[in-house]
Amino acid sequence: MAESGDVPALVLQLQGVRKTFNADLPNAVEVLHGIDLTLHAGEFCAVVGPSGSGKSTLLNIVGLLDRPTAGTVTICGQLTQGLADRALTQLRGHRIGFVFQYHHLLSAFTALENVLMPMLADAGSVNQQMVQRATDLLDQVGLHAYLAQPATQLSGGQQQRVALARALAMQPALLLADEPTGNLDTVSADAVFALLRDISRNAGMAVLFVTHNEALASRCDRTINVVDGLIVG
């Protein structure tokens, strides 16, 4: 993932990002007030800050799930401003993975089928190579023995590992993790965090990791502190 000369590739660049909700209404509220942020390949960055400070809003904009009111978002060199929804969806699908506090697995499907979903959605059908990749990913997150297990029959920690494997299915350059350990006991949270760290290091993947857990934040390469819609410190 590194460019020639071992300079890590720039995965994310935000310049002057602002977000106003209900912009045309009397109750308009600006939640992000001009965010500048860069993230390089392999960088593991915690996002901390008080409740309501704008962390999820920021993540939604970085993840191309919402558009900024002003400013620019560039993902892997692609400026997103002006792109149609379809192009944003393509870029998101190929470059960005998501893990949330709640795993959002499809309960009627097995662990393997859940990991295959993004590949199926992208290609329209599943081939042997995709099955192999999904199997390898589940292996990587320590769930080889659970490939055929329905998602509902897995523990919370195991479900979050499946969600992580699913997020990695398309080999994203950027992983957005919004409190992925928030719903887990300490031991499972530590295990999922360690896994995420290792995978990010090995794959050279950039990670934005929103957390209220100071101990985990302190183990990241870098921490950004969002307060009242601005990065401080």
Ligand X SMILES: Nc1ncnc2c1ncn2[C@@H]1O[C@H](COP(=O)(O)OP(=O)(O)OP(=O)(O)O)[C@@H](O)[C@H]1O
- Which residues make up the interface to ligand X (CB under 6 A)? 21-22, 29, 31, 49, 51-57
* Choice between 137 and 226, CB closer to ligand X: 226
- Cβ contacts of residue 202 below 8 Å, gap of 6+? none
DSSP 8-class letter at 65: S
* Choice between 4 and 22, CB closer to ligand X: 22
Which region, left, alpha or beta, applies to residue 141 given φ > 0 means left and ψ of -120 to 50 means alpha?
Answer: alpha
Shortest spacing between CB 196 and ligand X, in angstroms: 19
Tokens of 68: 């900024």
> End-to-end CA distance of the chain, in Å?
29
* Choice between 137 and 224, CB closer to ligand X: 224
Shortest spacing between CB 27 and ligand X, in angstroms: 8
* Choice between 58 and 154, CB closer to ligand X: 58
C-alpha–C-alpha distance, residues 137 and 157, integer Å:
16
Shortest spacing between CB 14 and ligand X, in angstroms: 15
C-alpha–C-alpha distance, residues 99 and 16, integer Å:
26
* Choice between 54 and 172, CB closer to ligand X: 54
C-alpha–C-alpha distance, residues 29 and 52, integer Å:
13
Shortest spacing between CB 53 and ligand X, in angstroms: 4
Shortest spacing between CB 167 and ligand X, in angstroms: 19
Distances (CA, A) of 110 to 95, 105, 115, 151, 158: 25, 9, 9, 5, 12
Residue 79 burial (CB count, 10 A): 12
Q: How far is CA 102 from the centre of its chain?
A: 13
Tokens of 20: 């106003």
* Choice between 71 and 204, CB closer to ligand X: 71
